[in-house]
């Protein structure tokens, strides 16, 4: 039985399922990255506290803006966006951060690594969209890649 509902695109069911499934993983990863970035924003310390605190807040805001766009695109292709924390846990590929304490350097290094990994996931999703001629999703992904690379750079 297909999990794809009536959609606004002309993709066949198999293509829509692949695109929606890939986007669900991206949505879960972006939610994990948002929570981690915001958590580090709340807990960062050290000599560069103010600059790091503000930078992480900017990054969290940018990441948060991706969440709704991804969920809406999933729905447009006929899929179901995540509905619970359990959904996120099933679909995420980025690791949660559960350590009680770490330095600002360790926090920033972990976020750089996560953003690099997210870039890889985004490029893979773009390739899938190219194969299915999903120009709309590919265009969104190109912007997200640029933003993610910017977060790595800063």
Q: 154 with 55: CB under 8 angstroms?
A: yes
Cα 16 to chain centroid distance, Å, stands at 19
Residue 8 has pLDDT above 90, yes or no: no
- What pLDDT was estimated at residue 10? 75
- What pLDDT was estimated at residue 7? 57
Q: How confident is the model at residue 2 (pLDDT cuts 50, 70, 90)?
A: very low
- What pLDDT was estimated at residue 1? 36
Query: What are the sequence ranges of the domains in the chain?
Result: 13-90+103-153
For the stretch 25-65, pLDDT in tens is 999 999 999 999 999 999 999 999 999 999 999 999 999 99
Q: How confident is the model at residue 69 (pLDDT cuts 50, 70, 90)?
A: very high
Structure tokens at 40: 């580090």
How many CB atoms are located within 10 Å of the residue 10 CB?
8
Task: For the domain covering 13-90+103-153, report its CATH number.
Answer: 1.20.1260.10
For the stretch 95-116, pLDDT in tens is 999 887 789 999 999 999 999 9
């Amino acid at each position: 039985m297909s999990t794809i509902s009536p959609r606004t695109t002309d993709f066949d069911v198999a293509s829509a399922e692949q695109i929606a499934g890939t986007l669900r993983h991206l949505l879960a990863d972006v939610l994990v990255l948002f929570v981690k970035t915001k958590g580090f924003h709340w807990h960062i310390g050290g000599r560069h506290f103010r600059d790091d605190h503000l930078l992480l807040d900017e990054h969290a805001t940018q990441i948060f803006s991706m969440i709704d766009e991804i969920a809406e695109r999933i729905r447009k292709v006929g899929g179901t966006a995540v509905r619970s924390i359990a959904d996120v846990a099933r679909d995420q590929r980025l690791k949660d951060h559960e350590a009680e304490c770490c330095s600002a350097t360790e926090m920033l290094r972990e976020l750089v690594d996560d953003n690099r990994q997210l870039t890889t996931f985004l490029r893979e999703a773009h390739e899938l969209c190219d194969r299915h001629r999903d120009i709309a999703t590919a265009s969104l992904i190109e912007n997200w890649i640029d933003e993610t690379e910017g977060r790595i750079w800063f």
